[in-house]
Chain A
Amino acid sequence: MRVKLQLTSLNNNMKGTFMRRLLLLALCCALLCQAGAATAADVDDLINKLPASSASEGQKIIAQIVKLGPPAYEELSKKLVAPGEGDNSKVRFAMHGLTVYVVRPGAELERRVYVRSLIKALGARDGREIKAFLIRQLQLAGKDDAVEPLSGYLGQETLCEPATQALTRIGTPKAAAALNEALPGASGRHLITIIRALGKLRFKPAAKDMLKHAMSADAITRRTALWALANIGDFSAAGVLKKAAETKAEYERARATDFYLLFASRLAEAGDKRACAAICRELVKTRTDPRENNVVCAALSTLVSAIGEDAMADLLAAADSKDKEIREAALKLAASIPGEAATAKWASRAKTASPETRAAIVAMLGRRGDKASQSAVLGALKDKEQVVRLAAITSARRFGTQEALTGLFAALGNDNPTDIKAIKRQLSLLPGSKVVSAAVGALSKVPPRSRVALIELLASRKAKEHVDAVFAAASDPDDSVRVAAVKALGSLADEKALPKIVDLLLNARKSAERAAAQKVIVALSGKIADPEKRADAILAALGKTAGEKRALLLHILPHIGGKNALKAIVADAKHADGKVREAALRAMTAWPDADAAPELLNVARTAANATYQVLALRAYIRLTALPSKRPASETLSMYKAAMSAARLPDDRKAVLAGLAGVKDVNALKFAASYLDDKDVAAEAALAAVSIVAPAKDGEKGLVGHDVEQILKKVIAVAKDTGIQDQAKKYLTSMPKSE
């Protein structure tokens, strides 16, 4: 191994064919000596460890095979078998590992030795697949040293393709010359394979011989030759490529036209930019069918690649195209031509363009991003056409500079709803705190609609540090601004600000403002951890208010909850002021939990006002029906109390509807007691069938003699056939009572 390292090092320093050959000979001798003792068993031992558990382990094993040298390589290649004729996976792991290993940087001599062995094996082994495998290794490891043996397979039916691929991959002039030598004798599929390879390698000497194939009657041969000629870029092919591009058949025309443009690019690369430009301009001019818009786009693209800013006039003309695809393509290409001079031309062009084109130019200037573009874009913020202003708004945001921000905020002064919406959207995409501070600064300078947009922006960015500015806006003379500000406080203020927001509620001038404030108060109160403290701000204000304002506060309390809040409502239900009393009663009916039930029952029983009585009873029934851990007997008692307070048939119906959810035999009996009440018999029947049925799948329903009797009565009394059927079905499936 030390010998090998020294030789490698020497090779890096030495130049000259003779010395390299000498070195290779020396290395081969050294490796052969070391490997003299290599046996099939050695190789088997090593390859049986493959694949290894890591690259470094695997490479150590491969290095040992390399150390054994050509005898080991020969041993390996002898073990190759065709697919299906045995397991040679270890051999293939090893040989492929060798291929990858010897092509690592700095291992040239190892590669050469291995390649020689592969070539030897290629000659020695039979079978298409085995030879193809060896050729694929040469494809990865071979250089000029593999060209000659590989070229011997170019005339062979089954191996021409892999040999050509390997030569193409090697890609040197020697490899190309070998392919070119095989061209005259090739036919059929081989011919296509070799033409393709020569085209890929751009081998100019092949161009003249290839011209006749570009006119072949066979479509694939013809197409391959056209592409190869285009890729080679020899001027002699100009006529045949032009003619092919004018063919009528759709796919053939599309491909040949693209080859023609490829040819144009190659001419430009070779320095003939004029010829390239002529081809591109001819295609732009002649391909007028909108179905060939893509050809115009491709021609413009090739033109810009070839002549850069000299294509400006072409792009300016294309930007006027009536076809959107071409306009967009031209402007996309325009963005790739740098320089303020180009920007100036576009800015000037925008002045005379149609609004749609002007908008597209402004969008493109935004993508260019240079200083001159910025000034044109900011100017377009004042364009009289909305489509242009909208493009300018998006472009200005892309700059993200202070000037652009100033321009956008100034544009808010236009008071155009669509512009304002767009500006707000674009501002919301700008990172950092600068935009938020600027929005606060602009609040006092823009019309109300824009103030609303800025406040919404502050809310969406959670700009809590600017909550004072929003509080100030909550006293704005404009109604919509005040509403927006109050809504924004829901995102920006915290629970400590509740007294101030309660003040805003009490002083609100519009119902929308009041509704917004109530929502914010509820939301912020909910953030207080102790439920009993959530209503403190309202209760404090309640002590200082009367009349309508007091009523306003009472309306919120059910949405906040808490024992103290309920106490205040109960107290105000007896208030001398009728409006306060009504608000308190309505608040009580909206109470969220059963704590309010006793007081509601009391009102339902005693209220002189029929409306209050009905409202209280319905609220009581609603609270009774809420999910709870009460025993069923207690719930039944509550429904019985409700029934006793019910004065109207509709109230009794409501009680029975609630009762339907109590899965208890006594509840069933209570419901059944109303089967003879003609006003509510139907509801009683429905309640009965609901009560007996299981609450959910897997549970059991009610059974027993009483159940049986009641259901029979339901069947007799109920007029609704659906209820009757339900009762019958249940009776049939129910176990008989003993």
Chain B
Amino acid sequence: MSRKGLSRRRFLSGSLAAAAAVTVIPRMALGAGTPAPSDMITHAVIGTGGMGMGHVGYVKNDPIGKLLAVCDVDEQHLARAVKHGGCKGYKDFRDVLDRGDIDVAHVPTPPHWHGLISIAAAQAGCDVWCEKPMTRTIGEGQHVIDAVHRHGRMFRLNTWFRFHRNMYGMGCPAKPIKKLVNNGLLGWPVTMLLSPWTGFGFKLRQWSGRINDKPQPVPKHFDYDRWLGPAPYKPYTRHRTHGSFRGYWDYDGGGLGDMGQHYLDPAQYILDKDGTSPVVIEAYAPWPPHPDAVLLWGRVEMKYADGCRLILESGEWGERKTQGRPYVEGPKGKIYKGFRCDPGGLRNALRSLPDPEPMIGDFNISVKTRRPFGLDELKGHRSCTLVNLAKIAVRTGRKLRFDPVKQRFIGDEEANRFINQPMRAPWHL
């Protein structure tokens, strides 16, 4: 087995003599504040577009992170990342995984690659730091969970609003809202509204696809075939790829793909639904949908088995039914944008309520202790399922009934075709 570089895995796996030789080096001998080799975590960033460069920054700013490899199918992106990251560049992620010295593989590619690369990374023994939305289909998410669990890997999904002190436009963290909701102070069931008026805009126009674009020649520095990977072949246009790929169903789901999981993950957390999914989903959108380009939708309503509801409204098409309504609404109380409560006394009750279960919010801790990250593959999959359910509802134009245990639509085999979508050879789950 070829092994290069120095990683935590390599360090831990070295021969006893070698390990002994290294462990006698005192931390201080490495210079003040320098982590010991066994404390360092090695990283590779696969996909170095906009978000990918963000991930390069995460590693560069991590005192115990060491970036060993970056990878992209666009030579220009790759050159930029190599320069910034000061590490080796690769065009094929399989060559990155072949190094054998990567502790954490970052997957900030377009979403049609998230599932495949996360699975391959887990199989190669890497922990995975995956960009949102976690997967493009529900089926891919199930396979990621399986690979991560079977291989005993740690997984982090890169959205942070269940931890963050400010949950987008709400102007407050998720935790106090969760405390009020879960302790029944708003009554039950509750309805959550995600719309521009509660602080959550979906940017649908920004992320819409184009129809009738004229095919263009593929730039020489760009391996379009490898960029497409598992996605069906379609003639190249610049707009299908970097920076605007979200506008096409083959790669993502428009504004739902960009913002959906950022918004829906804390919603799922607040409702205490991390282990389940809605049972009824209905979308209000122009119909039929375009077969290729993601366009506009007005509203998506999802209902859980216990009657709790999630309503997503774009404000960019159709009626504006949720304008002026609160973020969370129950029979006994409401919480508006900016954590304004009705009745006002709800806030005073917060201190007497127990905190939610603690979560690990630092992936380095998960990697080192092997305890799951706060937003791991299970929770990430469930909140990404909300994104994927909404996409399917928009695409089918039908009221869908979903079995959250089997993760299949009930009585609608055609809708089930969206759960596992074929991939272009040689790619497979």
Contacts of A329 in B (CB 8 A): 152
Contacts of B283 in A (CB 8 A): 55
| A-contacting 9-mer, from B56-64, B74-82, B380-388, B395-403 | B395-403
Interface residue A71 (Cβ < 8 Å from any Cβ of B): no
Contacts of A332 in B (CB 8 A): 149, 152
Contacts of B124 in A (CB 8 A): 250-251, 254, 294
Is A227's CB under 8 angstroms from B428's CB?
A: yes
Q: For the complex, what is the distance from the CA of A480 to the CA of B12, rounded to whole Å?
A: 46
Within 8 A of B (CB), among A173-221: 189, 192-197, 199-200, 220
Closest to A330 in B: B152
> Which of these, B98, B150, B414, B423, contacts A104 with CB under 8 Å?
B414
| B-contacting 9-mer, from A458-466, A649-657, A727-735 | A458-466
Closest to A160 in B: B425
Interface residue B222 (Cβ < 8 Å from any Cβ of A): no
B305 to chain A, nearest CB (A): 22
Within 8 A of B (CB), among A422-460: 428-431, 460
Is B291's CB under 8 angstroms from A96's CB?
A: yes
Given known pairs A89-B211, A249-B98, A294-B152, the reply for A59 and B425 (CB within 8 Å) is: no
Is A96's CB under 8 angstroms from B288's CB?
A: yes
User: How many chain-A residues does the 8 Å CB contact rule pick out?
Assistant: 92
> Which of these, A54, A99, A197, A251, contacts B425 with CB under 8 Å?
A197
Closest to B179 in A: A431
Is A89's CB under 8 angstroms from B287's CB?
A: no
Q: For the complex, what is the distance from the CA of A207 to the CA of B1, rounded to whole Å?
A: 30
Q: Which of B153, B290, B356, B428 has the most CB of A within 10 A?
A: B428
Is B212's CB under 8 angstroms from A88's CB?
A: yes
Is B150's CB under 8 angstroms from A302's CB?
A: yes
Given known pairs A139-B422, A140-B417, the reply for A83 and B215 (CB within 8 Å) is: yes
> Which of these, B120, B352, B370, contacts A325 with CB under 8 Å?
B370
Interface residue B183 (Cβ < 8 Å from any Cβ of A): yes
Within 8 A of A (CB), among B266-318: 283-292, 295, 318
Given known pairs A103-B414, A161-B233, A169-B422, the reply for A298 and B2 (CB within 8 Å) is: no
Interface residue B193 (Cβ < 8 Å from any Cβ of A): no
Q: For the complex, what is the distance from the CA of A394 to the CA of B97, rounded to whole Å?
A: 37
| B-contacting 9-mer, from A45-53, A381-389, A672-680 | A45-53
Is B125's CB under 8 angstroms from A291's CB?
A: yes
Given known pairs A53-B318, A291-B9, A294-B125, the reply for A62 and B288 (CB within 8 Å) is: yes
Closest to B287 in A: A58
B374 to chain A, nearest CB (A): 15
> Which of these, A92, A255, A258, A328, contacts B370 with CB under 8 Å?
A328
Q: For the complex, what is the distance from the CA of A491 to the CA of B351, rounded to whole Å?
A: 10
Is A83's CB under 8 angstroms from B214's CB?
A: yes
A661 to chain B, nearest CB (A): 36
User: How many chain-B residues does the 8 Å CB contact rule pick out?
Assistant: 75
Within 8 A of B (CB), among A324-376: 324-326, 328-329, 332
Q: For the complex, what is the distance from the CA of A129 to the CA of B214, rounded to whole Å?
A: 13
Given known pairs A59-B397, A161-B233, the reply for A253 and B1 (CB within 8 Å) is: yes
Contacts of A255 in B (CB 8 A): 120, 123
Interface residue B412 (Cβ < 8 Å from any Cβ of A): yes
Interface residue A57 (Cβ < 8 Å from any Cβ of B): yes
Q: For the complex, what is the distance from the CA of A42 to the CA of B153, rounded to whole Å?
A: 59
Is B351's CB under 8 angstroms from A462's CB?
A: yes
Closest to A53 in B: B286
Is A301's CB under 8 angstroms from B150's CB?
A: yes
Contacts of B396 in A (CB 8 A): 100
Interface residue A487 (Cβ < 8 Å from any Cβ of B): no
Q: For the complex, what is the distance from the CA of A462 to the CA of B350, rounded to whole Å?
A: 9
Interface residue B325 (Cβ < 8 Å from any Cβ of A): no
Interface residue B31 (Cβ < 8 Å from any Cβ of A): no
Interface residue A164 (Cβ < 8 Å from any Cβ of B): yes
Contacts of B215 in A (CB 8 A): 83-84
Interface residue A87 (Cβ < 8 Å from any Cβ of B): yes
> Which of these, A55, A192, A195, A324, contacts B397 with CB under 8 Å?
A55
Chain B 205-220, CB-CB to A under 8 Å as 1, else 0, gives 0000001111100000
Given known pairs A250-B1, A291-B13, the reply for A51 and B151 (CB within 8 Å) is: no
Interface residue B354 (Cβ < 8 Å from any Cβ of A): yes
Q: For the complex, what is the distance from the CA of A254 to the CA of B124, rounded to whole Å?
A: 5
Is B2's CB under 8 angstroms from A250's CB?
A: yes
Interface residue B232 (Cβ < 8 Å from any Cβ of A): yes
Q: For the complex, what is the distance from the CA of A100 to the CA of B395, rounded to whole Å?
A: 8
Closest to B394 in A: A55
Contacts of A169 in B (CB 8 A): 417, 422
Closest to B235 in A: A83
Chain A 210-251, CB-CB to B under 8 Å as 1, else 0, gives 000000000010011001000000000000000000001111
Q: For the complex, what is the distance from the CA of A190 to the CA of B215, rounded to whole Å?
A: 24
Is A196's CB under 8 angstroms from B370's CB?
A: no
> Which of these, B122, B233, B411, B425, contacts A192 with CB under 8 Å?
B425
Interface residue A165 (Cβ < 8 Å from any Cβ of B): yes
Is A55's CB under 8 angstroms from B398's CB?
A: yes
B18 to chain A, nearest CB (A): 13
Interface residue A151 (Cβ < 8 Å from any Cβ of B): no
Is B151's CB under 8 angstroms from A54's CB?
A: no
Q: For the complex, what is the distance from the CA of A249 to the CA of B371, rounded to whole Å?
A: 30
Is A140's CB under 8 angstroms from B288's CB?
A: no
Interface residue B88 (Cβ < 8 Å from any Cβ of A): no
Chain B 337-358, CB-CB to A under 8 Å as 1, else 0, gives 0000000000000011111111
Interface residue A564 (Cβ < 8 Å from any Cβ of B): no
Interface residue A562 (Cβ < 8 Å from any Cβ of B): no
A646 to chain B, nearest CB (A): 49
B345 to chain A, nearest CB (A): 13
Interface residue A404 (Cβ < 8 Å from any Cβ of B): no
Contacts of B291 in A (CB 8 A): 92, 95-96, 99, 133, 136-137
Chain A 240-278, CB-CB to B under 8 Å as 1, else 0, gives 000000001111111101100100000000000000000
Closest to B149 in A: A301
Is B289's CB under 8 angstroms from A220's CB?
A: no
Is A51's CB under 8 angstroms from B152's CB?
A: no
Within 8 A of A (CB), among B147-168: 147, 149-153
A163 to chain B, nearest CB (A): 11
Chain A 128-171, CB-CB to B under 8 Å as 1, else 0, gives 01001100110110000000000000000000011011101100
B252 to chain A, nearest CB (A): 18
Chain A 285-301, CB-CB to B under 8 Å as 1, else 0, gives 00001111111011001
Closest to B233 in A: A161
Interface residue B238 (Cβ < 8 Å from any Cβ of A): no
Interface residue B99 (Cβ < 8 Å from any Cβ of A): yes
Contacts of B288 in A (CB 8 A): 50-51, 58, 62, 93-94, 96-97, 100-101
Q: For the complex, what is the distance from the CA of A295 to the CA of B285, rounded to whole Å?
A: 46
Is A293's CB under 8 angstroms from B425's CB?
A: no
Given known pairs A59-B287, A97-B287, A302-B150, the reply for A429 and B425 (CB within 8 Å) is: no
Q: 11 A-B residue contacts at CB 8 Å?
A: A54-B284, A55-B287, A57-B287, A83-B214, A87-B212, A162-B233, A227-B428, A253-B1, A291-B1, A291-B125, A431-B182
Q: When A and B form their complex, which 8 residue pairs have the shortest distance between CB atoms, in order from nearest?
A: A97-B288, A297-B152, A58-B287, A84-B214, A55-B397, A462-B352, A329-B152, A193-B425
Known A50-B288, A84-B213, A294-B122; 12 more pairs at CB < 8 Å = A51-B290, A55-B284, A96-B290, A192-B425, A196-B425, A223-B426, A251-B98, A253-B1, A291-B9, A429-B354, A429-B355, A460-B351
B residues with CB within 8 A of A: 1-3, 9-10, 12-13, 94-95, 97-100, 120, 122-125, 147, 149-153, 182-183, 211-215, 232-235, 237, 283-292, 295, 318, 351-358, 369-371, 395-398, 411-414, 417, 422-428
